[in-house]
């Protein structure tokens, strides 16, 4: 395994739209799914009224970032065209920027053109589930746009990832993946890089819990770590419930993630996540 010391950067601030976001205290990213088939029905918003209502609620509850996505990445999700994704994402971002001009908006996409268009409309972070693997132009686009970039670990794509869960060394292989990706980004001049180990993406339930148990190891990469555990199947399948009943389990694992060094919690339920951060901060 390569040495994590090959990466040198401060993990405590992000330059977002010309403003420094301090991560000495963890922050919360609220999920806005502009899709009709997200795995959690309660997260789906499609009309402008729904989008703005949910955005306002999340901002009032303490979200630092809003993550807008138009392509469902749940296992087996239907592939949609770039035109459809563009339409969903850009309409939502335009509305949010107009109503909440100070909001920090992240665009959840693996397509460079969608990312470029979204930043043009006011998004200021790119959140890529494939870390550039699904679009060869993504890294150069991020470098040109000069925005923070969330690189997630995944194998294959949402249609194939469930069949790609064999690892010789789960943690070691994911760490090496991030060292390679981060060095590529650094060589292009990208400085603000967040890593997301990718809970639920090309990983079994047991592997997801192993990943969470060793989340603190990723701090050796000296990059902010994002944990996206919210209402995922590792929670509700373990508990024998549904995504709709997985809030308590999400809260429990979010606290675990913070204790293991997570800097950003990506969640459907902002109020509860902010409360977890407050309690964690008292520790």
What are the catalytic residues? Answer: 232, 266
- Cα separation, 47 vs 55, whole angstroms: 12
Query: Taking the CB of residue 2, how many other CB atoms lie within 10 A of it?
Result: 13
For residue 206, what are its two tokens?
């047991």
Tokens 């403003």 locate to: 19
In the chain the beta strands, taken as DSSP E runs, fall at 13-16, 19-22, 27-33, 65-69, 104-108, 125-128, 149-152, 193-196, 226-227, 264-267
**Burial zone of 187 (CB within 10 Å; 0-12 exposed, 13-18 middle, 19+ buried):** exposed
195-226 core/surface letters (b: 16 or more CB in 10 A; e: else): bbbbbbbbbeeebbbebbeebebbbebbbbbb
Beta bridge partners of 159: none
For residue 57, what are its two tokens?
């609620």
For strands 19-22 and 13-16, give the pairing: antiparallel
Closest CA to 43 of 272, 277, 270, 278: 270
């Amino acid at each position: 395994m390569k040495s994590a010391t090959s990466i040198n950067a401060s993990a405590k601030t992000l330059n977002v739209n010309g403003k420094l976001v301090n991560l000495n205290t963890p922050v919360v990213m609220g999920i806005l799914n502009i899709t009709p088939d997200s795995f959690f029905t309660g997260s789906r918003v499609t009309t402008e009224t729904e989008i703005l209502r949910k955005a306002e609620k999340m901002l009032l509850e303490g979200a630092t970032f809003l993550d807008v996505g138009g392509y469902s990445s749940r296992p087996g999700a239907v592939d949609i065209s770039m035109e459809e994704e563009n339409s969903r994402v850009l309409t939502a971002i335009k509305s949010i920027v107009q109503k909440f001009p100070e909001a920090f908006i992240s665009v959840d996409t693996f397509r460079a053109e969608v990312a470029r268009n979204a930043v043009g409309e006011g998004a200021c972070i790119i959140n890529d589930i494939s870390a550039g693997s699904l679009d060869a132009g993504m890294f150069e686009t991020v470098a040109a746009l000069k925005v923070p970039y969330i690189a997630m670990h995944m194998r294959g794509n949402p249609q194939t990832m469930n069949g790609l869960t064999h690892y010789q060394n789960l943690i070691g292989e994911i760490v090496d993946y991030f060292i390679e990706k981060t060095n590529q980004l650094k060589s292009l001049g990208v400085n603000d890089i967040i890593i997301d180990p990718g809970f639920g993406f090309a990983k079994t339930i047991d592997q997801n819990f192993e990943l969470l148990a060793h989340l603190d190891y990723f701090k050796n990469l000296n990059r902010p770590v994002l944990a996206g555990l919210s209402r995922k199947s590792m929670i509700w399948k373990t508990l024998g419930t549904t995504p709709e009943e997985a809030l308590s389990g999400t809260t429990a694992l979010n606290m675990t993630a913070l204790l293991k060094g997570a800097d950003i919690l990506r969640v459907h339920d902002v109020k509860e996540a902010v409360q977890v951060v407050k309690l964690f901060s008292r520790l």
